Amino acid sequence: MARARANRWMKLALAAAILLCGAGTARAQVKLLNVSYDPTRELYQDVNKAFAAQWKQKTGQSVDINQSHGGSGKQARSIIDGLEADVATLALAYDIDAIAQNSGRIKSDWLKRLPNNSAPYTSTVVFVVRKGNPRGIRDWADLVKPGTSVVTPNPKTSGGARWNYLAAWAWADKQFGGDQAKVKDYIRTLYKNVPVLDSGARGSTITFAQRGIGQVLIAWENEAHYLVEEMGKNKFEIITPSISILAEPSVAVVDRNVDKHGTRAAAEAYLNFLYTPEGQELAAKHYYRPRDVAVAKRHESKFAKVSLVTIDGAFGGWQKAQKAHFADGGTFDQIYQPGS
């Protein structure tokens, strides 16, 4: 009788302990979705691992971070349409602005919430050519030579493609002394040499490297290094043009979603982690130019010196650039006809 009673108490105590553990476990789980642009897969795989370890140590909470990648413009559209992203790490500020303006899911002050206009690392645009550079491509002028086949994604869907386009524009603008007709003509000829417009930067890399199309790929600097190191050692070369553009991929917490998921603290910490020396080291490892001066100094040799124009300086900011070049009826629509 006494034994039966003891057993009952033990069972009750066990159930209570399980309940408490369970409640603790429930608190100890957080899930984040990072919706990013095309070539950041490898960077964020490393960042996620490092951040999860740091967050666990700090808070005792396990964080499970999922990634989604695609053309930056397409990813922004997905978030506007309801993709439950906790953070957006996109190719350009304009795409995050678009989310803020068209869905209200991100507060309009997002740009000023984090240092460096919420761009924790930068990059630029370079060329990748096949080993030996059989076409002798050295600068933007070489891309419009007859018979040169250029691979770059579609600026309508890809953030990287917009940086590519604007870098080419900036070079032509300087080359032709600001003669807009000549600049436009140059861009028209350049895109006539583009046989396939992929929707994102990674797609273009596949087109160029795996499908063997084209003689030159216009790519993010980090994507170019990724290609050379991971996809085709001794098959490709990186060419740095005389002028390129300072690309500032931006990051933001998707306010409405994190409040809905109860993940704001983890999401904000995740983005802040990108600015820490550890986060900056990971950026440099994957050939993103770090903002942190000390880290940048350590990795100076990895990045070619190139004259960089800025989006604000050369184009008056993203809003203006988008309207003039990529909006419906903009310059890109004027110079590019599919199939032409």
Cβ at position 140, least distance to other proteins in Å: 22
Q: Between 214 and 279, whose beta carbon lies closer to other proteins?
A: 214
Cβ at position 98, least distance to other proteins in Å: 18
Stretch that binds other proteins, among 17-25, 50-58, 107-115, 232-240 (CB under 8 A): 17-25
Cβ at position 22, least distance to other proteins in Å: 3
Query: Contact with other proteins (CB under 8 A): which of 18, 53, 265, 304?
Result: 18
Does the footprint of other proteins cover residue 11 (CB under 8 A)? no
Does the footprint of other proteins cover residue 207 (CB under 8 A)? yes
Q: Between 34 and 250, whose beta carbon lies closer to other proteins?
A: 34
Does the footprint of other proteins cover residue 14 (CB under 8 A)? no
Sites for other proteins among residues 24-83 (CB under 8 A):
25-29, 81-83
User: For residue 329, which phi and psi values (nearest 5 degrees)?
Assistant: 85, 0
Stretch that binds other proteins, among 114-122, 208-216, 283-291, 302-310 (CB under 8 A): 208-216
Q: Between 203 and 249, whose beta carbon lies closer to other proteins?
A: 203
Classify residue 57 by burial, with Cβ atoms within 10 Å: 0-12, 13-18, 19+: exposed
Does the footprint of other proteins cover residue 203 (CB under 8 A)? yes
Does the footprint of other proteins cover residue 231 (CB under 8 A)? no
Contact (CB, 8 A) for 187 and 155: no
Residues with Cβ within 8 Å of residue 121, at least 6 apart in sequence = 249, 274, 280, 283, 288, 289, 290, 291
Stretch that binds other proteins, among 165-173, 210-218, 264-272, 299-307 (CB under 8 A): 210-218
Does the footprint of other proteins cover residue 157 (CB under 8 A)? no
Sites for other proteins among residues 241-260 (CB under 8 A):
256, 259-260
What residues does 90 pair with on adjacent strands?
250
Query: Contact with other proteins (CB under 8 A): which of 111, 141, 213, 324?
Result: 213
Query: Contact with other proteins (CB under 8 A): which of 212, 297, 305, 340?
Result: 212
Stretch that binds other proteins, among 35-43, 91-99, 206-214, 269-277 (CB under 8 A): 206-214
Does the footprint of other proteins cover residue 19 (CB under 8 A)? yes
Tell me which residues touch other proteins (CB under 8 A): 18-19, 21-23, 25-29, 81-83, 149, 195-196, 198-199, 203, 207, 211-213, 256, 259-262
